[in-house]
Amino acid sequence: MISVAEAIQIVKQQTRPLATERVKLEHALNRVLAEDIVADSDLPPFDRAQMDGYAVRAEDTAGAPVRLRIAGESAAGRGWHHELKSGEAVRIMTGAPVPAGADSVQQVELTHELKDHTVVELLESVEAGRSIVKRGAEIQSGETVLQSGTPINGAMMAVLAAFGYAEVAVGQRPRVGVLATGTELVSVTEKPGQDQIRDSNNYSIGAYAQITGATIERLPLARDETSILKKQIAGAAERCDVIVTSGGVSMGVYDVTKSALEELKAEIFFERIALRPGKPTVFARLPNGTLLFGLPGNPVSVAVTFNLFARTALLAMQGATEPALKYETALLARSVKGTVERESYLPAQLTTNDDGELIAFPLKWGGSSDFVAFALTTALVSVPAGTRSLEANALVRVLRLP
């Protein structure tokens, strides 16, 4: 058995980035950047007023209250492009360019205009530089503002737009074939008959894969027969970069996923991980290069193993610099039990306490088939192998689930 960390390492090593493509900015959300994003202009592009008020020369205000002649008005999008002279003020709005000659903005609350609006009285003096963001103070033209390999979030969409990236280079979406195995399975549209259950794994796997940016193909449910499964995998491999199966990887007579892979001459990178739940997880490559994750059938094992391993591969294929989920540290809210030989990943909810500390509340659940309880999970608590139990207030490593 290999450790979880070793398995993640193997996934990273065996995964190659797909080609890149250019997409319109409106289609870039959640895609992984395949180019550095470089500022094509200073930010702000001009000395910008931070307040509504009056642009002035600070030295003119030293003996406040003072009266200054209003020489003009600078609004956002409609600046006043003359030189401000001593004894003058320019009425200015937030976001508007500060005229040449002015070195400060006095906020409107500390002023009042006299009756005919040609003169303003400043009630207090203002020091040079006040309420002005100098050109280039935030970003300078030519600076790299986002790095290649970063997944694009909503705030980054604004950055891309601000610097004129109407199109942006991103990693291609992996095509993922989702294949549930199990003679007991019927589809969501059917009422299960005797000894049958509805397939739910294809929906969690499909959803988790889509969250990473992959596109999915739902393959027909596969019976526990090597020859049929083999055909389905081989057919799907022609169209997919990755196949994610569930079920059929344990030691039972009808656990046929591995025999199908052997007959297909797949290269198996691992098939047993010191992990609970999820020990029999398989990672392999088919002769044509398609990667295959053979996840166990239990819905909770699926959620854990997909997010540890398959998710990492799908993000690495899109060129993500940090494809694996990141561990954080939290305080355990109540004691939990570990497993002798395996690292456990226990479902939990994350909150913070009044001291601002991250708290992991392990959920009560009925084991790896209890996917209803698992639906409330927001994080997994890692309990190291060989740890009998962890007490309340222990520091634990946690992974936030997507």
Does residue number 338 form part of the binding site for ligand AMP (CB under 6 A)? no
Residue 358 contacts by C-beta under 8 Å, 6 or more apart in sequence? 328, 329, 330, 331, 350, 351, 352, 398
Binds ligand AMP by CB under 6 A, chosen from 131, 201, 290, 312: 201
The amino acid at 259: S
Does residue number 282 form part of the binding site for ligand AMP (CB under 6 A)? no
In the complex, least distance from residue 298 CB atom to ligand AMP, rounded to whole angstroms: 4
The amino acid at 9: Q
Q: Check if the beta carbon of residue 293 is closer than 8 Å to that of residue 313.
A: yes
The H or E element containing residue 30 is: none
Question: Cβ closer to ligand AMP: 97 or 247?
Answer: 247
Which partner from the list ligand AMP, Mg ion, none does 197 bind, CB cut-off 5 to 8 Å by kind?
ligand AMP
Does residue number 277 form part of the binding site for Mg ion (CB under 5 A)? no
In the complex, least distance from residue 376 CB atom to Mg ion, rounded to whole angstroms: 26
**289 to 14, 145, 228, 264, 320: CA distances (angstroms):** 10, 35, 21, 12, 20
CA distance 45 to 247: 57
The phi and psi torsions of 328 (rounded to 5 degrees) equal -120, 170
For residue 374, give the 3-state DSSP assignment.
helix
Footprint of Mg ion on 246-265 (CB under 5 A)? 247-248
Does residue number 280 form part of the binding site for Mg ion (CB under 5 A)? no
Binding mask 106-145 for ligand AMP (x = CB under 6 A): ----------------------------------------
Which partner from the list ligand AMP, Mg ion, none does 149 bind, CB cut-off 5 to 8 Å by kind?
none
Does residue number 196 form part of the binding site for ligand AMP (CB under 6 A)? no
Question: Cβ closer to ligand AMP: 59 or 190?
Answer: 190
In the complex, least distance from residue 199 CB atom to ligand AMP, rounded to whole angstroms: 4
Question: Cβ closer to ligand AMP: 21 or 184?
Answer: 184
Does residue number 319 form part of the binding site for ligand AMP (CB under 6 A)? no
Burial class (CB in 10 A: 0-12, 13-18, 19+), 320: buried
Binding mask 291-320 for Mg ion (x = CB under 5 A): ------x-----------------------
Which partner from the list ligand AMP, Mg ion, none does 97 bind, CB cut-off 5 to 8 Å by kind?
none
**97 DSSP β-pair partners:** 48
Binding span for ligand AMP by CB under 6 A among 30-38, 89-97, 115-123, 180-188: 180-188
Does residue number 375 form part of the binding site for ligand AMP (CB under 6 A)? no
For residue 164, give the 3-state DSSP assignment.
coil
The amino acid at 359: I
Q: Check if the beta carbon of residue 110 is closer than 8 Å to that of residue 122.
A: yes
Does residue number 182 form part of the binding site for ligand AMP (CB under 6 A)? yes
Question: Cβ closer to ligand AMP: 94 or 210?
Answer: 210
Residue 115 contacts by C-beta under 8 Å, 6 or more apart in sequence? none
For residue 64, give the 3-state DSSP assignment.
coil
Binding footprint of ligand AMP, residue count (CB under 6 A): 16
In the complex, least distance from residue 76 CB atom to ligand AMP, rounded to whole angstroms: 56
For residue 187, give the 3-state DSSP assignment.
coil
CA distance 22 to 39: 18
- CA 129 to chain CA mean position, Å: 38
In the complex, the residues that contact Mg ion under the rule CB under 5 A are: 182, 247-248, 297
In the complex, the residues that contact ligand AMP under the rule CB under 6 A are: 180, 182, 184-185, 197, 199-201, 246-248, 250, 296-299
